[in-house]
Structure 1
Amino acid sequence: MKRSHGAFVRTGALLLVLFALSGAPAHAGSWVSGYYTNPWGARGFQLWVPTGYQPGEALPLVVALHGCFQNPDQFAGLTRLNQKADAERFLVLYPNQAMISNGTQCWNFMIATNMERGMGEPSIIVGMVDWVKSHYAVDAHRVYVGGVSAGAVMSSILLACYSDVFAAGMVGAGAMYKAATTASGSAYAMIFGSIYHPDDRGRDAWACSGKPRRQVPVLVLHGSEDDVVNPINGEQAVRQFLQTNDYGDDGADNDSVPYRPTQVRYGDVPGGRRYTVKDYVYGGRLLVQKYELQGMGHAWPGGDPSYLFSDPSGPDATTFMWDFFKQHTR
């Protein structure tokens, strides 16, 4: 089985369709559209190549995962991530959920095969990352993943099972790894929080990447009035990744990584929302950071108001995300 899977992946990579590209780098400041397939399925993607891109200069790569009822164009518009990429010089990969796979364009985080390494939708997304690395100058030590809603839950899965690929990630209005393992359980978890203990899921996440001596920096962002994904899911995601990092530190569950924030800060934006920031620092490194935005529902703060999931009053989640990412290399 393993041999045929690898052969199929190689074949899928060779057959990948890139519109008007033929494997050559695109012009700077432009979209590239493509299609990736492996034994677990096929998905389209869009890649933003930032202004000033030079083929010989390795840039960071951000994988941006849209939410339900969205596509790459809409997520890029909501977050203004391409403008940030132009200003800060990084590539952005936007995988696209096919409507044939989910009629609401949600990533299928609730299906068990999508919660393991080398399987399902996570394997397709990582295959896209590998394709970008093979065709563009990418700093493999600075590959990041982040998303909103269903895309945020898929980000949790990718961070858990591919910690050797991603240097850091963001979970925006999402949930922890394996918050539920069925569709009905996922619906319950979104409303009430997971029935599973984050410490148990923290160990499961560490195991999914092969029990490495490696830590996984994560930014968690959630609105205090989210009525789609209960804010308790944000707290559970923080605890789960702290536990994952506890194991990743020395291979043991010994509370070597602190479970209490090392710093709590408060901020606000003129005309926008107040927020609380909790930092979890270990060994001089910011491992987990939690933003709670007061009064915000299920949204991307600071987003373009013409798109779904926007809370335009701010602060700006895109800036928070990139500021967190650029502190970390793998």
Structure 2
Amino acid sequence: MAGSAVAAGPAGHWDIGLYGNLFGAREYQVWVPAGYDDTQPLPLLLVLHGCVTGPNLMGEASGFNDVADTEGFIVVYPRQNVTSNPARCWNWQLPINQARDSGEPSLLAGIVEKVKAAYSVDPHRVYVTGISAGGAMTSIMLGCYSDVFAAGAIHSGGMFKGATTISGSAYALLAGSIYSPDSNGRLAWQCSGSPSPRPLPVLVFHGSADLTVNPVNGQQAVRQFLQTNDLADDGMDNDSVKYVPTSTYHGQVPGGRAYTVDTYAYGGRTLVQHYVVQGMGHAWSGSQSGLPFTDPKGPDATLITWLFLKDYQR
């Protein structure tokens, strides 16, 4: 019976929840991984979908649930309300959603806390990722809740406070933010109450041919989080963390796309990593799902994201 010992414990499954506070309410879905045992605390990954999608499609496009079953972590997918945004985009460009304990960030942080209370979660290993509008919201969650998240990954998104109006967000998507990544790096550090020291390891993923979110937004996110980390290491803006890669790697997916990886290390640890996938548009890289906004020819962003995040503890 070669396969008899493979699937110990229950299969992975969806649970559905609802969280609300003064700023409204949001549904969310939890992927409880195969073999879940409530005596064993597991890492938690918050995944923020892009526009015109939701938890099920985001789960299918990314394949995070399969990785969770293998690696053993809980995945949480909040759902944006159509009443809050007709296209179901997270409203990352509104000032109410760019602060701690306010707007959508307060709802997302509340969902995380509710899931931590309901399941066996390792509070030192809570992570966040998202794509597009969800990627921009990931920057906000990292900046404003650096005491909650140990690390994060921004896919085809932008930096913290890349825009502060609807019209400004349209410009940022087209041509990059008008704001200084260095100034916004300080704002992100201050959003959690200027804690020190509290590093924020970040992975940034972007396609070089992204016509929806200009790739310069990825570059700005890298620089912004390097500035945030420069402040986080000793409370001073002294360029201790430099905007110069400590290493650059050129990769090639067999039969697929070329990509470059710039790594920014400090104190022997990777703080920021920047993947640029050549010729890829606005898409989740490496997804074999065939869904819109996915690209099967890029490197496997899902596995790369998890392997990056899992190394860090808060």
> Do they fold alike, i.e. is TM over 0.5?
yes
Q: Does 1:145 align with 2:128?
A: yes
Deviation at 1:305, TM superposition (A): 3.8
Q: Which residue of 107, 131, 139 corresponds with 1:156?
A: 139
Partner amino acid, structure 1, of 2:256:
G
Query: Which residues of 2 match residues 129-144 of structure 1 at below 5 A?
Result: 129-144=112-127
Cα separation, 2, equivalents of 1:96 and 1:307: 18
Q: Does 1:267 align with 2:251?
A: yes
Residues 74-122 of structure 1 deviation map (CA, whole Å, 9 limit, x = unaligned): 0000011100000000000000001111110100111110000000001
Deviation at 1:28, TM superposition (A): 4.6
SS at match of 2:302: helix
Q: Does 1:42 align with 2:25?
A: yes
Partner amino acid, structure 1, of 2:202:
V
Cα separation, 2, equivalents of 1:90 and 1:287: 22
Query: Which residues of 2 match residues 19-34 of structure 1 at below 5 A?
Result: 28-34=11-17
Partner of 1:181: 164
Partner of 1:92: 75
TM-score by length of 2: 0.96
Partner of 1:317: 301
Q: Which residue of 274, 281, 288 corresponds with 1:304?
A: 288
How many residues of Structure 1 are paired with residues of Structure 2 in the alignment? 305
Partner amino acid, structure 2, of 1:99:
V
Q: Does 1:293 align with 2:277?
A: yes
Partner amino acid, structure 1, of 2:306:
W
Cα separation, 2, equivalents of 1:190 and 1:76: 25
Partner amino acid, structure 1, of 2:294:
S
Q: Which residue of 206, 213, 225 corresponds with 1:229?
A: 213
Cα separation, 2, equivalents of 1:221 and 1:201: 19
Cα separation, 1, equivalents of 2:11 and 2:243: 43
Partner amino acid, structure 1, of 2:53:
Q
Residues 226 and 241, structure 2, Cα contact 8 Å, conserved in 1:
yes
Residues 281-313 of structure 1 deviation map (CA, whole Å, 9 limit, x = unaligned): 000110000000000010001113432210011
Partner of 2:5: none
SS at match of 1:84: helix
Partner amino acid, structure 1, of 2:86:
G
Q: Which residue of 241, 249, 263 corresponds with 2:233?
A: 249
Q: Give the direction of change, closer, same or farther, for the CA distance of 1:139–1:28 in structure 2 (3 Å limit).
A: farther
Cα separation, 1, equivalents of 2:227 and 2:187: 10
Partner amino acid, structure 1, of 2:251:
G
SS at match of 1:179: coil
Partner of 2:311: 327
Partner of 2:47: 64
SS at match of 2:249: strand
Query: Which residues of 2 match residues 69-218 of structure 1 at below 5 A?
Result: 69-213=52-196, 214-218=198-202
Cα separation, 1, equivalents of 2:298 and 2:181: 30
SS at match of 2:290: coil
Cα separation, 2, equivalents of 1:141 and 1:272: 36
Partner amino acid, structure 2, of 1:67:
G
Cα separation, 2, equivalents of 1:251 and 1:218: 19
SS at match of 1:152: helix
- Computed over aligned residues only, the root mean square deviation of the Cα atoms, in angstroms, reads 1.0
Cα separation, 2, equivalents of 1:319 and 1:172: 13
Residues 159 and 181, structure 2, Cα contact 8 Å, conserved in 1:
yes
Deviation at 1:164, TM superposition (A): 0.3
Cα separation, 2, equivalents of 1:273 and 1:304: 14
Residues 285 and 301, structure 2, Cα contact 8 Å, conserved in 1:
yes
Residues 77 and 304, structure 1, Cα contact 8 Å, conserved in 2:
no
SS at match of 1:189: helix
Residues 280 and 298, structure 2, Cα contact 8 Å, conserved in 1:
no
Cα separation, 1, equivalents of 2:163 and 2:122: 34
Residues 277 and 298, structure 2, Cα contact 8 Å, conserved in 1:
no
Cα separation, 2, equivalents of 1:226 and 1:118: 32
TM-score by length of 1: 0.91
SS at match of 2:46: strand
Partner amino acid, structure 2, of 1:48:
W
